Chain A
Amino acid sequence: MARMTMIESIRDAHFVSMEADDAVVVFGEDVGHFGGVFRCTQGLQERFGKHRCFDAPISELGIVGAAIGMAANGLRPCVEIQFADYMYPAYDQIVSEAARIRHRSVGDFTVPMTIRMPTGGGIYGGQTHSQSPEALFTHVSGLKTVVPSTPYDAKGLLLASIEDNDPVIFLEPKRLYNGPFDGHYDRPVVPWSKHESAEVPEGHYTVPLGKAVVRRPGADVTVLAYGTMVYVALAAAEESGIDAEVIDLRTLIPLDTELIIESVKKTGRCIVVHEATRTSGFGAELAAIVQEEAFFHLEAPIRRVTGWDTPYPHAQEWDYFPGPDRVRAVMSDVMEV
């Protein structure tokens, strides 16, 4: 077993799936010879040829629309949208088409495809390279939405996504590509090579869609997080001395409601954390589910720590980013209720 960065483990998942199944094809902007702007598809074209890994014109609509037609014709496309922020031209194809084709045709046509896209900020990407649009997908019936937080999960979840017979949105927290970032932007980055969740087995394995995981067991408060925010929540727990239970959701749809509710019933408190803007964010859904199913176990109001309802700013990105200080402050608040 080798330690890999998240980029390497995503690349490895591509190799494993393309080796196993000729139906898997990969395309997107710059993904061919160049291997993608983040290098997640490096070497695929060399290994599998230009008909299975190729560059697409700069048309997200075209990439997703063509992938739908391919999936309907027996292929299993795994396409890359260069940044989640560039996804919007493809949104009609995702929402009105990929998500609906199985249902509207009663299974006459299906769309087994994965749409990968780097998400989140903290890289000085400004408002067009930093967004977290997951709630735009979780709001749509027929889609599955996945957000890995470790190299191990990234490979296992990506393999599960590619093998899934429904369309999957695979959001890769780009701030985690090279190390587990905890939100302390003024400290040196810890590389994945120093982290045990970077141990990635060779060959094929999957992490099932719909299963969350407890990253830190605790008794005082349940913190629901995914992607980069998992590490922010873990840092806040360590620094505050509050015994938080940090749950990494891993997939948003399907959601592991059982694990969430079990934890909240135990701790009696719940904080929801995400980097996306607050209003109508996925955190609102999580808060609603928790109060519907565990209201009488709650000892404090459910609180959200999120990005603000502003565009992701460039120079002021750390004012936007919900870092460990903000999570810690809310943790203290809910413990005082």
Chain B
Amino acid sequence: MDDSPRLKIPEPRFKPGDDPDFSGIEIPAPGDTRRPDVDAEPREMRDLADGLIRVLGDDNKATGPWQSELTATQLLKGLTDMMRVREFDRRMMAAQRQGKTSFYMQCTGEEAISCAFRTAMADTDMNFPTYRQQGLLIAHGYPLVDMMNQVYSNEEDPIKGRQLPIMYSSREHGFFTISGNLATQFIQAVGWAMAASIKGENHIAAGWIGDGATAESDFHSAMVFASTFQAPVVLNIVNNQWAISSPQSLARGRADTFAVKGIGFGIPALRVDGNDYLACHSVALWALERARRGLGPTLIEWVTYRTAAHSSSDDPSAYRPPNEAANWPLGDPIERLADHLIELGEWSIEQHQDLADQIEEEVRVAQAEAESHGTLHEGPKPTRDIFEGVYEKIPPHLQKQRDLLEGMTWRE
């Protein structure tokens, strides 16, 4: 039956062996995407879901209506945060390759989004992250040694070796415990925000999800609840083009962008150049202010590119050309911000190298300290009670199992 309807099976733009050419992607100039008032009605902002908010142009200058008021010192803080994240990732990935831990996930190329967003938040706000937002912790000053202790599951691991590397948890730093089951956190963020509102606290929640996981029902539920109850929440989709080996088109379907998915829910939806620190910070402030003023949720699609492999277990050479990241038209967030600071006369190549050296040393020292507490397979082996904390109090059946484990003679 030749005339029967045929399914469309999405394919990536390019495959290994192709020369990735992104010239077909239209990149608006800064200023092309307007900046509505924070209290504008969702229906008046529908065009933004198809735009691309940018501040830093190809000339390294900041222009357009989304220009931020960040000082040179604040920009330098952003640059330092991003460089620290990248160096942290580099070292932990190497540690994984050396067998010091089981698993690692880098966020190379995506640093601007979480670093800028965290900087725009208040201390009382809460993130519901997925697994590639280490910038939220680092930009808020969470100690690198604590993060490494978690990655190593060593004796100082704040979560006692119970979770895979990178599944951090820190209420103090506004970072909800990460789940390996994707998307579950998105609706939880909405619930957290609803609770803040019910309690009369002006605290904002931010949910984080990847392009691929928007296909989960949790995404849909979160959008319904956020819209219906007008919860003070910012819902972030990090579109890094890839969900392991699946192109973003597999989850996006025939919608033009991920942001347009907000329109059907009556949620204002913005699309942002996620490799532009200034744009990221400016949009984060805008959405957080909306939430704080009781104007409801915002959906943000952060357009970026996953430069690194999905995880230490992944081999992207099997499904994409090796130079795809280099050809990505939105560039690298660290280079772009450094070039902007140089353009402003606030930075130099020498200063940049000095900062890189300083961060390298800082992360090296942190790693040495973390490794003094052990790594996954070496060093001190603390007794860890896996039965503790399943419930607030250990019930009789678990106590019995605990006694069984402790009584086993093969144990040291």
On A, residues with C-beta under 8 Å from B are 25, 51-52, 56-57, 59, 61-62, 65-75, 89, 92-93, 96-97, 100-110, 141-142, 144, 164-166, 210, 253-255, 257-258
Residue from the set B158, B181, B198 with the largest chain A CB neighbour count within 10 Å? B198
Smallest distance from the beta carbon of B195 to chain A beta carbons, Å? 4
Residue from the set B176, B188, B224, B391 with the largest chain A CB neighbour count within 10 Å? B188
Is there an interface contact between B192 and A61, defined as CB atoms closer than 8 Å? no
When A and B form their complex, which 3 residue pairs have the shortest distance between CB atoms, in order from nearest? A69-B191, A65-B187, A66-B191
Q: Which residues of B contact A67 (CB under 8 A)?
A: 191
Is there an interface contact between A103 and B389, defined as CB atoms closer than 8 Å? yes
Name the contact of B391 in the complex, choosing from A25, A65, A92, A142 (C-beta under 8 A).
A142
Q: Which residues of B contact A102 (CB under 8 A)?
A: 389-392
Q: Is B169 an interface residue (CB 8 A)?
A: yes
Is there an interface contact between A104 and B191, defined as CB atoms closer than 8 Å? no
Q: Which residues of B contact A71 (CB under 8 A)?
A: 191
Is there an interface contact between A59 and B224, defined as CB atoms closer than 8 Å? yes
Name the contact of B170 in the complex, choosing from A69, A104, A108, A255 (C-beta under 8 A).
A108
Q: Is B189 an interface residue (CB 8 A)?
A: yes
The segment from B28-36, B38-46, B159-167, B316-324 found at the interface with A is: B159-167
Q: Which of B210-257 contact A (CB under 8 A)?
A: 217-218, 220-222, 224-225, 228
- Contacts A57-B225, A254-B397 given: A69-B195 contact, CB under 8 Å? yes
Name the contact of A108 in the complex, choosing from B169, B184, B188, B191 (C-beta under 8 A).
B169
Residue from the set B195, B224, B389 with the largest chain A CB neighbour count within 10 Å? B195
Q: Is B177 an interface residue (CB 8 A)?
A: yes
B148-191 interface code vs A (CB 8 A; 1 in, 0 out)? 00000000001110110001011100001101010010111111
- Contacts A69-B205, A93-B184, A166-B392 given: A75-B198 contact, CB under 8 Å? yes
Is there an interface contact between A253 and B395, defined as CB atoms closer than 8 Å? yes
Query: In the complex, what distance in Å separates the CA atom of A254 from the CA atom of B401?
Result: 14
Q: Is B199 an interface residue (CB 8 A)?
A: yes
Is there an interface contact between A109 and B177, defined as CB atoms closer than 8 Å? yes
Is there an interface contact between A97 and B391, defined as CB atoms closer than 8 Å? no
Q: Which residues of A contact B197 (CB under 8 A)?
A: 51
**Number of B residues contacting the other chain (C-beta, 8 Å)?**
47
Q: Which residues of B contact A108 (CB under 8 A)?
A: 158-159, 169-171, 177
Is there an interface contact between A70 and B225, defined as CB atoms closer than 8 Å? no
Query: In the complex, what distance in Å separates the CA atom of A66 from the CA atom of B392?
Result: 22
Q: List 25 A-B contacts (CB under 8 A).
A: A51-B198, A57-B224, A59-B225, A61-B187, A62-B221, A65-B188, A65-B190, A65-B222, A66-B190, A69-B193, A70-B191, A74-B199, A89-B217, A102-B392, A103-B390, A104-B167, A104-B169, A106-B162, A107-B389, A108-B169, A108-B177, A110-B392, A254-B396, A257-B396, A258-B396
Q: Which residues of A contact B171 (CB under 8 A)?
A: 108-109
- Contacts A70-B194, A142-B390, A254-B397 given: A104-B225 contact, CB under 8 Å? no
Q: Which residues of B contact A105 (CB under 8 A)?
A: 159, 169, 177
Smallest distance from the beta carbon of B220 to chain A beta carbons, Å? 8
Smallest distance from the beta carbon of B178 to chain A beta carbons, Å? 9
Query: In the complex, what distance in Å separates the CA atom of A103 from the CA atom of B162?
Result: 8
Is there an interface contact between A92 and B390, defined as CB atoms closer than 8 Å? no
Q: Which residues of B contact A258 (CB under 8 A)?
A: 396
Query: In the complex, what distance in Å separates the CA atom of A61 from the CA atom of B162?
Result: 25
Query: In the complex, what distance in Å separates the CA atom of A164 from the CA atom of B393?
Result: 10
B38-79 interface code vs A (CB 8 A; 1 in, 0 out)? 000000000000000000000000000000000000000000
Q: Is B286 an interface residue (CB 8 A)?
A: no
Q: Is B126 an interface residue (CB 8 A)?
A: yes
* Chain B: CB-nearest residue to A70: B195
Q: Is B196 an interface residue (CB 8 A)?
A: yes
Q: Is B302 an interface residue (CB 8 A)?
A: no
Q: Is B104 an interface residue (CB 8 A)?
A: no
Smallest distance from the beta carbon of A113 to chain B beta carbons, Å? 10
Is there an interface contact between A104 and B193, defined as CB atoms closer than 8 Å? no
Name the contact of B163 in the complex, choosing from A65, A96, A104, A141 (C-beta under 8 A).
A104
Query: In the complex, what distance in Å separates the CA atom of A92 from the CA atom of B218?
Result: 10
* Chain A: CB-nearest residue to B172: A108
Query: In the complex, what distance in Å separates the CA atom of A141 from the CA atom of B392?
Result: 12
Q: Is B128 an interface residue (CB 8 A)?
A: yes
* Chain B: CB-nearest residue to A65: B187
Smallest distance from the beta carbon of B400 to chain A beta carbons, Å? 9
Smallest distance from the beta carbon of A180 to chain B beta carbons, Å? 29
- Contacts A65-B221, A103-B162 given: A74-B195 contact, CB under 8 Å? yes
Name the contact of A61 in the complex, choosing from B179, B194, B198, B217 (C-beta under 8 A).
B217
Is there an interface contact between B390 and A141, defined as CB atoms closer than 8 Å? yes
- Contacts A96-B179, A108-B169, A254-B395 given: A68-B224 contact, CB under 8 Å? no
* Chain B: CB-nearest residue to A61: B221
Q: Which residues of B contact A93 (CB under 8 A)?
A: 184, 187, 218
Q: Which residues of B contact A166 (CB under 8 A)?
A: 391-392
Q: A62-B187, A142-B390 are in contact. List 8 more A-B contacts (CB 8 A).
A: A57-B221, A68-B191, A69-B187, A74-B199, A97-B184, A106-B158, A109-B176, A254-B395
* Chain A: CB-nearest residue to B164: A104
Query: In the complex, what distance in Å separates the CA atom of A255 from the CA atom of B400?
Result: 12
Is there an interface contact between B218 and A65, defined as CB atoms closer than 8 Å? yes
Q: Which residues of B contact A92 (CB under 8 A)?
A: 181, 184, 218
Smallest distance from the beta carbon of A29 to chain B beta carbons, Å? 13
Query: In the complex, what distance in Å separates the CA atom of A70 from the CA atom of B203?
Result: 13
Q: Which residues of A contact B221 (CB under 8 A)?
A: 57, 59, 61-62, 65-66
Smallest distance from the beta carbon of A319 to chain B beta carbons, Å? 35
Q: Which residues of A contact B389 (CB under 8 A)?
A: 102-103, 106-107
Q: Which residues of B contact A141 (CB under 8 A)?
A: 390, 398
Q: Which residues of A contact B160 (CB under 8 A)?
A: 106
Residue from the set B160, B167, B184 with the largest chain A CB neighbour count within 10 Å? B184
Q: Which residues of B contact A66 (CB under 8 A)?
A: 187-188, 190-191, 194, 221, 225
Query: In the complex, what distance in Å separates the CA atom of A128 from the CA atom of B42?
Result: 39
Q: Which residues of B contact A142 (CB under 8 A)?
A: 390-391
Smallest distance from the beta carbon of A224 to chain B beta carbons, Å? 16
Query: In the complex, what distance in Å separates the CA atom of A106 from the CA atom of B167?
Result: 12
Query: In the complex, what distance in Å separates the CA atom of A257 from the CA atom of B397?
Result: 8
Query: In the complex, what distance in Å separates the CA atom of A108 from the CA atom of B159?
Result: 9
Is there an interface contact between B177 and A104, defined as CB atoms closer than 8 Å? yes
